[in-house]
A and B are shown apart, each in its own frame.
Chain A
Amino acid sequence: DAGVIQSPRHEVTEMGQEVTLRCKPISGHNSLFWYRQTMMRGLELLIYFNNNVPIDDSGMPEDRFSAKMPNASFSTLKIQPSEPRDSAVYFCASSLDWGERKLFFGSGTQLSVL
């Protein structure tokens, strides 16, 4: 298996633009997680899905952020409009099921909002 695949690896955009980050989890994994990593705040859980259903989005910073999982093999995290303080590395991770605590992470998307 190729592992968790995220795209793009790097994204540079201007303030106010819409940004869409993409994730393909490992085939057969039922849980998917979006994390944000910054120097100041470390690794923060934004939202997670189980069987394509959002379970907890309390970590989403504000309404500018939204996430979807239309099927078991694809998820998106969208920021609209983007702001400079959104600059971070965004990671997607998946696990076999909700009870499995072993997460497999993608390589992340480095987002820079100018």
Chain B
Amino acid sequence: GDSVTQMEGPVTLSEEAFLTINCTYTATGYPSLFWYVQYPGEGLQLLLKATKADDKGSNKGFEATYRKETTSFHLEKGSVQVSDSAVYFCALSDQQEDDKIIFGKGTRLHILP
């Protein structure tokens, strides 16, 4: 079945550092890809998405590009802030799997002031 693999955390960075969180996927069909973010004590919320190859999703300074050739959707941000501290989930939705959204295990990010 479909699956999502993302780098294990926690990831600890200083403020204004460059962030990359790796995500790769396996899918039967041609999935849509997502990044969700979970702030402490809250539910997940959609951060960005991409629905076809070479699309770039972006929001709040975060970006991710749908790379079909490497089956990847890495999350990047040029300069992180303390307020970006959260857990980040990569996810996919595949029509071949009834469009169920499948999440990775999450990567905890700590940003130090």
Asked whether A103 is an interface residue with its Cβ less than 8 Å from the other chain, the reply is yes
How many residues of chain A get a CB closer than 8 Å to chain B's CBs?
21
Which chain B residues lie closer than 8 Å to A107 at the CB level? 41-43
Closest-CB distance, A34 to chain B (whole angstroms): 12
- Let me know if B101 and A105 touch, CB within 8 A: no
> Is B34 an interface residue, CB under 8 A from the partner?
yes
Task: Using A101-B99, A103-B101, A107-B41 as known contacts, say yes or no to A43 and B46 having CB atoms under 8 A apart.
Answer: no
Q: Among B14-22, B66-74, B77-85, B102-110, which stretch is in contact with chain A?
A: B102-110
Q: How large is the interface on B (under 10, 10 to 19, 20 to 34, 35 or more residues)?
A: 20 to 34
Contact between chains at B100 and A48 (CB < 8 Å): yes
Residue ID in chain A nearest B38 by CB atoms: A105
**Chain B: which residue is nearest A38 at the CB level?**
B105
Bound complex: CA A102 to CA B49 (Å): 9
Complexed CA–CA distance, A1 and B44 (Å): 17
Q: Is B35 an interface residue (CB 8 A)?
A: no
A56 and B98 contacting across the interface, CB-CB below 8 Å: yes
The proximity string for A residues 51-66 relative to B, scoring 1 for CB distances below 8 Å and 0 otherwise, is 0000110000000000
Q: Is the CB of B103 within 8 A of A4?
A: no
Known A-B contacts A42-B105, A42-B106, A43-B89; A103 and B46 likewise in contact (beta carbons under 8 Å): yes
Considering the complex, give the chain B residue whose CB is closest to the CB of A33: B101
Minimal Cβ-Cβ distance residue in A for B103: A43
Contacts of A102 in B (CB 8 A): 46, 49
Of residues 57 through 114 on chain A, the ones whose CB sits less than 8 Å from some CB of chain B are 91, 93, 98-99, 101-108
The 9 closest A-B pairs by CB, nearest first: A105-B43, A42-B105, A43-B103, A105-B44, A101-B93, A102-B46, A106-B43, A107-B43, A91-B43
B contact residues vs A (CB 8 Å cutoff):
32, 34, 36, 41-46, 49, 89, 93, 98-106
User: What are 14 A-B pairs with beta-carbon distances under 8 A?
Assistant: A41-B105, A42-B103, A43-B105, A45-B100, A45-B102, A93-B43, A101-B49, A103-B101, A104-B43, A104-B45, A105-B43, A106-B43, A107-B42, A107-B43
